[in-house]
A and B are shown apart, each in its own frame.
Chain A
């Protein structure tokens, strides 16, 4: 039950994009087409889960015992960036189709605030290993959900007469704002 709450909380109620403002850059950048949005969402979810595991281990077995908490930011980002780059290389070599579908999004994810944000949240809330993984998964699903909804809307808006100055990022932010208003309905659920 606890894990379910963590999952729903991260996926819907406190959606990373719509209520924590994490991962806004890809949310605006990669939500133009639904196909890219799905791939991006899946790649991000993968990295989030991986980050949750790796940073938890790093914190529990290296930084914690050595009392180096102040190095968190540096260590986490280093680990995440290197790991993502490594995974990208592996996928690229081993499976070109998978690389085209997911891999090309990986470098974009390193600088996604959601990744580092997740790592920091996990430490802040003191989650255990399994909780961290579920939290990462929930955050990833929530990110994918928001991204896909937005991509669907933007494909629809491609056919609409959005006023010139608002086209692109402007209308995306306004839609995101309205979605944030709508998601306020979930407030207080967890």
Chain B
């Protein structure tokens, strides 16, 4: 045993020492300056250089994650734990206190509330529909019903309901804003989860047209604005809420003839104290 062991030990030890020394030396000599976070991220990664992320190894992944080109969840080997750690390093979830949720600001169900001008032949995507005379609905500001927002949502948090309008599932919504970008009509906005009062319309047509094409359009009458103490202003025939000044209890929502302004959950007194007061106050008056 002895005679074979010695050369083995010497060889391996020698090789090991040679390369270890060389590498340590090289590391010192050839070090390249980089973002310290890359090193931090790298230390969290599995380091298997397996390429499972589709990139050239863990170093590349770390660089891309720090550079924002790759999602923190991009490492399939590391799983959620690693993702959480990387997110912590990058400070992605920097103390966001108010949860934002997407809100759909159109309630014009095609054929029911909103007039339909013609049948449409072509791809169902909203963006494509908007190009052809603005889609089936007569309203050029309302929901096209093609579900581009549904496709854009990676969290299945938005569905087209039986009326053909998108509906957000609060519990699944992460407030990422993908649907906001996807909507060619800008009818989706991010709002704090507990916000209740909205103008559910983006129509800026003149009152006559608006009234004609949709039963639930904001027709720009301005009644809500008059009694809002300045929180609601009329911009191009559309009521716009300034939430920093809003006192929902004084808004005469029941006087809105088309119900374009109103509460997300009309009879949900529990969800929003002030909204509840407004509802009961107006009911009394």
Q: Do the beta carbons of B19 and A82 come within 8 Å of each other?
A: yes
In this complex, how many residues of chain A approach chain B with their Cβ under 8 Å: the count is 34
Interfacial residues of chain B within 112-167, with CB under 8 A of chain A in the complex: none
In the bound complex, residues from chain B placing their C-beta under 8 Å from that of A82 are 19-20, 22-23
- Asked whether any CB of chain A lies closer than 8 Å to the CB of B284, the reply is no
- Asked whether any CB of chain A lies closer than 8 Å to the CB of B230, the reply is no
**A22 smallest CB distance to B (angstroms):** 14
Q: Do the beta carbons of B19 and A111 come within 8 Å of each other?
A: no
A90-B49 contact, Cβ under 8 Å, with A79-B15, A105-B57: no
A/B pair count, beta carbons within 8 Å: 87
- Asked whether any CB of chain B lies closer than 8 Å to the CB of A86, the reply is yes
A92-B56 contact, Cβ under 8 Å, with A66-B11, A75-B15: no
In the bound complex, residues from chain B placing their C-beta under 8 Å from that of A75 are 11-12, 15
Question: How far apart sit A189 and B10, CA to CA, in the bound complex (Å)?
Answer: 45
Question: How far apart sit A105 and B8, CA to CA, in the bound complex (Å)?
Answer: 33
In this complex, how many residues of chain B approach chain A with their Cβ under 8 Å: the count is 30
Q: Do the beta carbons of B50 and A29 come within 8 Å of each other?
A: yes
B interface footprint on A1-40 (CB within 8 Å = 1, 0 otherwise): 0000000000000000000000001101110110010011
A-side residues, CB < 8 A to B, are 25-26, 28-30, 32-33, 36, 39-40, 62-63, 66-68, 71, 74-75, 78-79, 82-83, 85-86, 89-90, 92-93, 104-105, 107-108, 110-111
Question: How far apart sit A40 and B57, CA to CA, in the bound complex (Å)?
Answer: 11
Question: How far apart sit A75 and B10, CA to CA, in the bound complex (Å)?
Answer: 12
A interface footprint on B10-53 (CB within 8 Å = 1, 0 otherwise): 01100110011011001101101000000000000000111111
